[in-house]
Amino acid sequence: MVDAGVLGARIASSAVAPLVKKLFVKDQPGAGLVSRPVRISALVAFGREKRSVTPKDVEKVAAELVRRALRTAGPGEQPVTAEEATAVTHALAHSLASLGTLTIEDCEAVDLGPEEFARALRSHAAVISYGLSGDGELFYEQLLHTAALHILNFFTQRSTYIARQQTAQSRQLARLVRAVDVLLGRLPSQSAEDAGFEARYAEHITGRYGTLTIYGLDAGTSEWSLDTAYLSLEATRERDGQDGGLQIPAEQVLAQHDQVLLRGVAGSGKTTLVQWLAVTTASRTYDHGLTHLIGRVPFVLPMRRIVRPGTEFPIPGDFLKAVGCPVAGEQPAGWAERVLRAGRGVLLVDGIDEIAGDRRDAARRWLRELTRTFPGNLWLVTSRPSAVPERWLEAADFHELTLSPMARDDVATFVRRWHRAAGADEREGVSLLQAVRTTSELNRLATNPLMCGMLCALHRDRRGFLPQDRKSLYEAALTMLLERRDRERELDHPDGLRIPYATQVQLLQKLAWWLIRNSRAEMDRSDALHIIGQAVPAVNLDGTAEDVYRSLLLRSGLLREPAEGRVDFLHRTFQDYLGSRLAVQELDFDLLVNNAEEDDWEDVILLAVAHARPKEAEQMLRRLVGLDTSRGKLLAAAGLRYVAEVEPAVRQLAEEGVGSLVPPRGLSEAEQLTRAGGDLVLALLPGPEGIDDETAYLVAWSAAQLGSDAALHFLTGFRDHGDSRVQYVLANSWHHFDQELYAREILAHMVRQSTVTVRNTKDLRLLRSIGGWAHIKVAGAYRVEELTELIVPEQLTVLLVEAPHPVEGLAWLSAFPNLEDVHVETQVSVTVAQQVPARTTLITP
């Protein structure tokens, strides 16, 4: 027998729409062209104002809806008796007849949406479903909901409605109608038992996976709503036979391919994506635009839970039992197999890396057998990058994609949502974002949801302040990654090797220090095994060097294999932290100071100062100043912020050393300073308060040369400065930075009198997005249409054109009513010069 609640939705839109249309007056040309919405009672064809349809006709429409719904079930599968079908028809007719008495307006009805509108029809008609069985009532409610959906869709398609209203809701309803049609093609005939169980299972999935847990945090919230937490990241797939890759939204990977192996580093959001896909599939809402998920059933299969030592891989009928699903005992016999035979499954196999290496080949055979036996389902398998080789599932027709790091806007979105979910003050999030953008080590850490969550929690724990103590920050991150995360996830070590936290740190810092000493970004796998093999006897581990290496690679979240036989650190900042720690333990201070002029050693030296004991740190600072180079003095001054204790004489020595460099006294000194110090200089440069205009100009120029996020934030302090040279520097430096961010953070706040150079249409659009600009220089070739379309006409007063070819026409300048001067840096004929508007001064070479 077909489930009554499902049956009511199984009428195609091509059948429902004509029936619904009979209930309303025709949308005649010119009729109803009014400036305000229309009452629904004025639209129906059987109300007080219109009598072209009688109440008996409404009953016929309801009867036809019931008849067509029952016909989709087929003989022998009717959910209700003939007598009850008649009762459902009467109830539905009463609800549809209530359209003639509704005083709400058509746009208000659309705003309600189909569910609320159906509820309004039922309550307004005072339909009491006494006498209907449970199946009869479900049948009636679903038919009413289907009719309500098409009624609202009809409203949005009327010419007068479209003339009055924006089309967003119209499009949404159209998507819903299409989604219902997709559902009809995918939803098979079901027994009431199967349909009822699927509804209960869907509720379990929504409740079980509707929250996101952040593991390994001491503070803040550890659980928050998935709706709030989910962040749409990008997945990259390799171009066929080409370099580079194509990026698609991660939640769309199964729309592109039925079977996907998705790789991602620790904390990149793989499990969160699995949860989101499961909840979205189970929610039974159809307005998310992911039609490939409609009418399907999710199976979440965390490998660490379903593959236990000595156990077999589960068959479909045991999926729910294997993951400890509390409704597994209610599962009808053969239900899972029926779902998969119909091609309705979404199988989310999470964490191939979380099972022992010797069982991964068996996992691959299990996946190949399942996909071969049950074709047509959707499969997403996730893994850390190095757990399985490339093309591991190619023979099973899986496509490989990789989760991309978070972009700048992703980080900002994540931080805002985290603080909203935690009930924290919005200003805390703003403060953290400023710290991330202005502090290079935080910027390098904030590349995935795990690390962003850690920064948010630490920031909130310290009441809106991330300490300058970088050592404490990295120590907290290492504790979370190396120790607490797996323990709190109750993850058994898949390879049977548990490495204590202190031992992991000791081994990782040996690898890091080797890379730093040899000026390498990555090392051969054989070198890593050799280093670990030498250390294993001293750290008292039972496993081989290979065992230890694999455990560090898969579980630490710090190492990765970017290519076959190569290994590096995921975050360079952790490499520098761990390497500097071992450098201090090995007393390699001479090696550190001797490399002070190397850019790659900057963080290593500063972190070594932080790790060193007071006397060791003081000796390093003395030697750095004694190098008598700009960089040595800058490193010594910056190192003062990293020491917990320092003799006053040493502090004075370091401060006097940098005092000869900062602030710069001329452009040549400023150029030397930025070349020698990089972002290190920013912490030493003075702000705009309390300095003269000449110094402000040189300071702004120095910061602008750096082109970093930290420098951009530093320059925000100068955007209101009154000196014209400072304004000139700011207006002419945006090509050194992320231009969209620079336009928003700097240019949008300036007086807009200095000249800004634009090189392409993107530049023009960015200026337009902030309201336009007064003085614009167009460098390079241009199209007149682009200039007249993208330059804000009322703003432009001065235009400089640096064209590579002679200018052939200037009549288009009349489009700018306030234009006063035009500078053309190319040849202009007399004829062309005569085309300049009378109010405009043309200045040519």
What are the DSSP calls for 595-628, one per residue?
A: TTT-GGGHHHHHHHHHHS-HHHHHHHHHHHHHT-
**Residues counted in the chain:** 845
Nearest by Cα to 748 from 761, 760, 739, 759: 739
Whether 537 shows a pLDDT value over 60: the answer reads yes
Reported confidence tier of residue 105, pLDDT bands at 50, 70, 90 = low
Together in a domain, 246 and 366: yes
Reported confidence tier of residue 49, pLDDT bands at 50, 70, 90 = very low
| Structural domain includes residue 685 | no
Together in a domain, 90 and 142: yes
pLDDT number for residue 522: 79
User: How many structural domains are present in the chain?
Assistant: 6
Together in a domain, 508 and 435: no
pLDDT number for residue 101: 66
Mean pLDDT of the chain: 76
| Structural domain includes residue 641 | yes
| Structural domain includes residue 692 | no
Together in a domain, 223 and 159: no
Together in a domain, 227 and 314: yes
* Residue 553, domain CATH: 1.10.10
Q: DSSP letter for 811, please.
A: G
pLDDT number for residue 29: 42
| Structural domain includes residue 709 | no
Reported confidence tier of residue 334, pLDDT bands at 50, 70, 90 = very high
**Cα–Cα distance, 92 to 112 (Å, whole number):** 20
pLDDT number for residue 790: 84
* Stretch 12-38: mean pLDDT: 53
Contact 81, 143 (CB under 8 A): no
| Structural domain includes residue 493 | no
Q: Which of 379, 403, 427 is the last residue of a domain?
A: 403
- Give pLDDT tens digits for 150-163: 777 766 666 555 54
Q: Which of 188, 219, 254 is the last residue of a domain?
A: 188
pLDDT number for residue 501: 83
The more confident residue out of 426 and 272 is 272
Q: Is the dihedral of CA 114, 115, 118, 123 positive or negative?
A: negative
pLDDT number for residue 841: 59
Q: Is the dihedral of CA 85, 91, 94, 98 positive or negative?
A: negative
Together in a domain, 27 and 147: yes
Whether 499 shows a pLDDT value over 70: the answer reads yes
Together in a domain, 399 and 415: no
Together in a domain, 89 and 117: yes
| Structural domain includes residue 667 | no
| Structural domain includes residue 395 | yes
* Stretch 786-806: mean pLDDT: 80
Q: DSSP letter for 718, please.
A: G
Task: Record the pTM.
Answer: 0.53
Phi/psi class of residue 308: alpha, beta or left (left: φ > 0; alpha: ψ in -120 to 50)? beta
pLDDT number for residue 39: 55
Q: Which of 147, 166, 188 is the last residue of a domain?
A: 188
Tokens of 304: 């660490």
Reported confidence tier of residue 57, pLDDT bands at 50, 70, 90 = confident
* Stretch 188-193: mean pLDDT: 69
Reported confidence tier of residue 817, pLDDT bands at 50, 70, 90 = confident
* Stretch 505-526: mean pLDDT: 89
Q: Which domain holds residue 598?
A: 593-659
Q: DSSP letter for 639, please.
A: H
Contact 99, 40 (CB under 8 A): yes
pLDDT number for residue 318: 93
- At 42 the three-state DSSP class reads helix
Using CA atoms, how far residue 611 sits from 516, 653, 797, in Å, is 17, 21, 57
pLDDT number for residue 491: 53
The more confident residue out of 48 and 416 is 416
Whether 132 shows a pLDDT value over 90: the answer reads no
- Give pLDDT tens digits for 545-565: 888 888 888 777 788 787 678
The Cα angle at residue 575 between residues 572 and 578, in degrees rounded to 5: 150
Query: CB count, 10 Å around CB of 519?
Result: 10
Nearest by Cα to 602 from 630, 572, 576, 571: 576
The more confident residue out of 642 and 336 is 336
Together in a domain, 207 and 291: yes
pLDDT number for residue 187: 59
pLDDT number for residue 816: 87
* Residue 300, domain CATH: 3.40.50.300
- Give pLDDT tens digits for 365-410: 999 999 999 998 999 999 877 678 888 898 888 999 988 877 777 8
Whether 164 shows a pLDDT value over 60: the answer reads no
Together in a domain, 624 and 654: yes
**Cα–Cα distance, 133 to 138 (Å, whole number):** 9
Whether 510 shows a pLDDT value over 50: the answer reads yes
Together in a domain, 336 and 271: yes
Q: Say how many CA atoms lie within 13 Å of 350 toward its Cβ.
A: 21
- Give pLDDT tens digits for 203-257: 999 988 888 765 444 444 456 677 766 777 788 876 554 444 567 888 888 888 8
Whether 341 shows a pLDDT value over 50: the answer reads yes
- Give pLDDT tens digits for 720-740: 888 888 888 888 888 888 888
| Structural domain includes residue 370 | yes
The more confident residue out of 421 and 85 is 85
The more confident residue out of 754 and 481 is 754
Together in a domain, 519 and 576: yes
